[in-house]
Amino acid sequence: MAKSRLIGDYPVIGIRPTIDGRRGKIKVRESLEDQTMNMALSAKKLIEDNVFYSNGEHVKVIIADTTIGRVAEAAACQDKFRKAGVDITLTVTPCWCYGAETMDMDPMTIKAVWGFNGTERPGAVYLASVLATHSQKGLPAFGIYGHEVQDADDTSIPTDVKEKILRFARAAVAVATMRGKSYLQIGSVTMGIGGSIISPEFFEEYLGMRVESVDEVEIIRRMTEGIYDKKEYNKALAWIKEKCRPDFDKNPVELQKTSKEKEKDWEFTAKMACIIKDLFNGNNKLPKGREEEMVGHNAIVGGFQGQRQWTDFYPNCDFSESILNSSFDWNGAREPYILGTENDTLNATSMLFMKLLTGRAQMFADVRTYWSSESVKRVTGYSLTGKAKEADGIIHLINSGACCVDACGEVKDEKGNPVMKRWWEVSDKDIDTMMSATTWPYADLGYFRGGGYSSRFVTRAEMPATMIRLNLIKGLGPVLQIVEGWTVKLPDEVTDKLWKRTDYTWPCTWFTPRITGKGPFKSAYDVMNNWGANHGAISYGHIGADLITMASMLRIPVCMHNIDEDKIYRPSAWNAFGMDKEGQDYRACQAYGPMYKNIK
């Protein structure tokens, strides 16, 4: 797959096969060696086959050199894992082991323990014992215990165990990938939006990241002084001219720019996209003598302020945001960047969480308008059907042309279903399909006095989707909202009537949540009314359970979700904080605190 754009290796998962350390004439340990190591090998294969880094590579998994029966072997395992860059450990065993001697004591690793459900040896007893010891020592670990009893010689992994191992692995790899990387804000606060008021403490203490800041004038300096890759720029501009279909100009005729002026704006826009990529991750092809600019900021996520100082004078960043957030550009399919509109640091980070979990491009949108069934009927004469009818309405997801074009919903999977593919599965044909479904109207000069181009498409597909939002709450810290639902396909004439009541030059997606009849999930209105900010991050697929697991690793409580309780998977210590799942989460996150906070 593609070489990582980031400095630093991807996290490695280390498997720790623990065993009953008793030897002697009966040879207890010796009788368990094969079964124990086979568990480790099975888990290794399962993870390697199904979990991926963000660049599309299969996750690297290593196993301790020997089974671990006593503390010396635990220490040897830890030494090997430290040298190999292991950030995540999975302990596996079919039998009783000496808990405090064999457990993973590294406070910085993300931990899980799988105890085999068999009757010959008490793997479940070790699991319960070592999880209790993890809790006692303040080292939370995820427990994995199959529902059905297995025979001792059964090397298969039950479905429920597979689900937990893979959920743990996906979430842990996403969490560990963020460590040591940067959030790059280009500009600062946008129009007083709270999410664009960056909190270095959040990034440093909860995510293990650093914050980098660059003034927007750096883009102008690089354009003016020619500090960009000319070959890359020419390739980008040629691709734009070939692939980016122009659309209407909604502005009054007397304010519209000439064709020559609009062509200049495209040249400016292409340079801007190239320079933002260089700011994120550097570029060793910049002109000689520009070694300082070549190195970049090692950014895994970032945001662009834009409004209003930039967009009142220069072409907006909509094209750059849209194409960088997409799964491709002029070089073909590639890992999506995460570039938050209006430098909404919390929405961009929400997008990052889901990209790392899925390998897919992510949507950035205003959670703009709730349309009830009655309002839709009154305005258009159309009666909502299906899931939208069940939720009594739809939510309009729309923003200033900066959404990834993957969200058009025109790409199909092998069964003909609309999909937003993992980026490494995107073909040249898929790219052409997405670009054919997208147009680029000239910007609304009421919003953007400096002009520019917005992406424009309609999501004409029903796709499973998950919308989330991180919010920072004074006195509490970060919290996460999660809503699983679907994009909604409306008749074009209905979409047209509703869309024209807002900005018609921006991409348009209709969303409806899965309702539960309780709390904020009684209807689509209740979801909208309980949403914590003006923006949302939206991913293809129902990934709420993975996000809950990931949030627990980061010690971020989930304040709103519609995930079935039997899918909620958190460290076993959470069970000690009460019987209600939501209360457990808040209390446990408060007790343990952020992993990277030095002063507590």
Residue of 342, 344, 430, 503 with catalytic role: 342
DSSP-based three-state secondary structure for 369:
strand
Tell me, rounded to whole angstroms, the distance of Cα 372 from its chain centroid: 30
94, two tokens: 């079919």
**Residue type (1 letter), 113:** V
**Residue type (1 letter), 591:** A
Neighbours of 183 (CB within 10 A): 28
222, two tokens: 């690089």
Residues 553, 557: Cα–Cα separation, whole Å? 10
Phi, psi of 91 (to 5 degrees): -90, 135
Q: Is 210 exposed, middle or buried (0-12, 13-18, 19+ CB in 10 A)?
A: middle
User: Is 366 annotated as catalytic?
Assistant: yes
Residues 491, 57: Cα–Cα separation, whole Å? 40
Q: Are strands 508-513 and 477-488 parallel, antiparallel or unpaired?
A: antiparallel
Tell me, rounded to whole angstroms, the distance of Cα 20 from its chain centroid: 40
276, two tokens: 């933002």
| C-alpha neighbours within 13 Å on the C-beta side of residue 377 | 10
Residue of 73, 205, 366, 392 with catalytic role: 366
Q: Which residues neighbour 557 within 8 Å (Cβ) at sequence distance 6 or greater?
A: 479, 480, 551, 582, 585, 586, 589
User: Is 342 annotated as catalytic?
Assistant: yes
Q: Is 422 exposed, middle or buried (0-12, 13-18, 19+ CB in 10 A)?
A: middle
Residues 251, 403: Cα–Cα separation, whole Å? 22
- Give strand pairing partners of 370: 395
C-beta separation of 560 from 536 below 8 A: no
Tell me which residue of 400, 301, 395 sits closest to 342, measured CA to CA. 400
Q: Can you point out the beta strands (E) in 492-596? A: 508-513, 535-540, 558-560
Question: What are the residue numbers of the active site?
Answer: 342, 366
